[in-house]
Amino acid sequence: MAWEYAPAPESRNIARLRTSYGMFIDGAFTGGTGGSFKTVNPATEEVLAEVAEAGQADVDRAVAAARKAYDKVWAPMPAAERGKYLFRIARMVQERSRELAVLESLDNGKPIREARDVDVPLVAAHFFYYAGWADKLGYAGFGPDPRPLGVAGQVIPWNFPLLMAAWKLAPALAAGNTCVLKPAETTPLTALVLAEICQQAGLPPGVVNVLPGAGETGRAVVTHPGVDKVAFTGSTDVGKQIARSLAGTRTKCTLELGGKAANIVFDDAPLDQAVEGIVNGIFFNQGHVCCAGSRLLVQESIADELLDKLKGRLATLRLGDPLDKNTDIGAINSAEQLAKIRELSDIGDAEGATRWSPPCELPEHGYWFPPTLFTGVSQAHRIAREEIFGPVLSVLTFRTPDEAVEKANNTPYGLSAGVWTDKGSRILWMAQRLRAGVVWANTFNKFDPASPFGGFKESGFGREGGRQGLEAYLCAGDGRSGT
Ligand code: NAD
Ligand code: MG
């Protein structure tokens, strides 16, 4: 490159980082009975804060507070009033958007550009969208007078900490449920600031409770007998455990799990645009995206040309300080996730695929992995079958549309897919055959609160977003499903 970028760091002061954070139960921040844990900045390994960890007694207290708030305040409240609270939360997220973006970037390692331009605006959009539904539930298509379910126990992952909290809370609250939310152990901070926003918005105590902690806390939330509805986003392994533990109970459950999406490029696609879509599909958020386009299926006749362009583009990606506004690739969220990415990539080498990364200097501290692609990948390779959840692309080829469909569907997952072609008819033909919850055409990783999102097969069941996202929090009958 002929020139370099000057550093353009965002100030971290606006994150208003505190040395310790409590949990949020019944409208107040408190310590807990489960001790505490540290959350680190994965870009530097610096400890950011000490966070209270919720134990069984805290979960009991939060579920009781949520039950009381449901019975006494939230469910009886006129729906238009509930909507006002959600509009208020949405506006407060917008007002504090810089603070939230910087805090998210610090705790998660994602580039500030993404937290600022994608995560936080989508959080506000989600609250606005579901605020509008609160007094129109009878028109959502679930009967003339749908009722809330009761107390929702919600567990979320670390890749989009605040956005996943919004995806869980906004539809549940709009439908009249109360919530006990457990953020992921490596990224608890923005959910706690969202709790503070709920408090400042005057949300009645107990309507939203936020319990930081690890898997044990999550297990206590999802198996609690006082919970009427479980919503989980995370790995397929944990999703299966939850499904087993809830089988035979009356607790309703939706699961948003892993993915191994195919991004399919036909020979008539606009190639430069497709290259941008491939990059966005797998290198956005370091590939920590459940619907990431982690398998590139490219038509054989254009494979060499496309790969040349793609490699040229990857060489321009900037990896480094997530708070620098020019950074494209931030840090891997944790040492454990880095180990998992390394292990699967090494297996890719061992199974005979060819690894390529652009020249890319990695920072000395923190958890980093360069943008990587594997060619010579066969469908049997583990890097073509297993979710790597990192910045690693597996490239396969196909000759005919039928072969593309067959290869794309040859996975236990089915969360998303991408199709790149000049022909509208081919887009529709493909979309009818791809077994995936979302099919993007000539774009990738586009999100809108009005659009439902969710899986086929081992990617889970239930939809989040859109009118469909309300269904998980409503029933046609007389309310409480857990009693
Ligand atoms: P994980 O399943 O280990 O953890 C997710 C959450 O579940 C965390 O909050 C964790 O503390 C909690 N948890 C762990 N064990 C639990 C248990 N036994 N009971 C209840 N809760 C428990 O997943 P992860 O590795 O942290 O996250 C990455 C995975 O999440 C990837 O596989 C990815 O595809 C998936 N994911 C899916 C979506 C989606 O919308 N489908 C979104 C983001 C991430
Ligand atoms: Mg962290």
CA 106 – ligand 2 centroid, Å: 7
Q: Which ligand is the nearest neighbour of the Cα of 454? A: 1
- pLDDT score for 481: 43
Please give the pLDDT value at position 1: 53
Pick among 3.30.830.10, 1.10.260.40, 3.40.605.10, 3.90.25.10: CATH of 12-257+459-475 = 3.40.605.10
Nearest-CA residue for ligand 1 atom 31 is 235
Number of neighbours of residue 360 by Cβ within 10 angstroms? 17
Mean pLDDT of 83-112: 98
CA dihedral over 398, 404, 407, 413, signed as positive or negative: positive
Whether 184 lines ligand 1, by a CB cut-off of 6 Å, is: yes
Ligand 1 atom index nearest CA of 415: 41
83 lines ligand 1 (CB under 6 A): no
- Please give the Cα distance from 140 to 145 (Å, whole number): 10
User: In this predicted model, what pLDDT tens digit does every residue of 289-338 receive, in sequence order?
Assistant: 999 999 999 999 999 999 999 999 999 999 999 999 999 999 999 999 99
Chain centre distance of CA 443: 19
- Residue pair 249/223 in contact (Cβ under 8 Å)? The answer is no
CATH assignment of 262-448, among 3.40.309.10, 1.20.1250.20, 3.40.1010.10, 2.60.120.560: 3.40.309.10
Q: Tens digits of per-residue pLDDT, 401-427?
A: 999 999 999 999 999 999 999 999 999
Closest Cα to residue 119, out of 472, 445, 473? 445
Contacts of 446 (CB under 8 A, 6+ apart): 440
pLDDT at residue 476 in the model = 83
Ligand number nearest CA of 232 is 1
205-241: pLDDT as tens digits: 999 999 999 999 999 999 999 999 999 999 999 999 9
> 423 C-alpha to center of ligand 1: Å?
37
| Placement of tokens 């926003």 in the chain | 197
**How confident is the prediction for the chain on average, in pLDDT?**
97
Predicted local confidence at residue 194, as pLDDT: 98
- Indicate the pLDDT class of residue 480, thresholds 50, 70 and 90: very low
Domain ranges in the chain? 12-257+459-475, 262-448
State the catalytic residue, choosing from 290, 387, 464, 471: 290
Has residue 479 got a pLDDT over 90? no
Q: Look-up: residue for tokens 């993915």?
A: 259
Cα gap 296→143, rounded to integer Å: 42
Residue 261 pLDDT > 70, yes or no?
yes
Confirm whether 290 is a catalytic residue.
yes
Which of 256, 386, 458, 471 is catalytic? The answer is 256
Helices (H) and strands (E) in the chain, counts: 16, 20
pLDDT digits (tens, 9 = 90+) for 183-210: 999 999 999 999 999 999 999 999 999 9
Out of 39, 159, 451, give the residue to mutate to test ligand 1, the one with the largest number of ligand atoms within 8 Å of its CB: 159
Section 132-144 average pLDDT: 96
Which range (4-18, 80-94, 319-333, 423-437) has the least confidence?
Answer: 4-18
Per-residue confidence (pLDDT) for residue 4, from 0 to 100: 83
**pLDDT confidence tier of residue 5, bands split at 50, 70 and 90:** confident
Q: Which of 233, 332, 343, 386 to mutate to test ligand 1, by most ligand atoms within 8 A of the CB atom?
A: 233
pLDDT at 170 over 60: yes
pLDDT value, residue 2 = 60
Name which residue leads in pLDDT, 127 or 477.
Answer: 127
Q: Is the pLDDT of residue 345 over 50?
A: yes
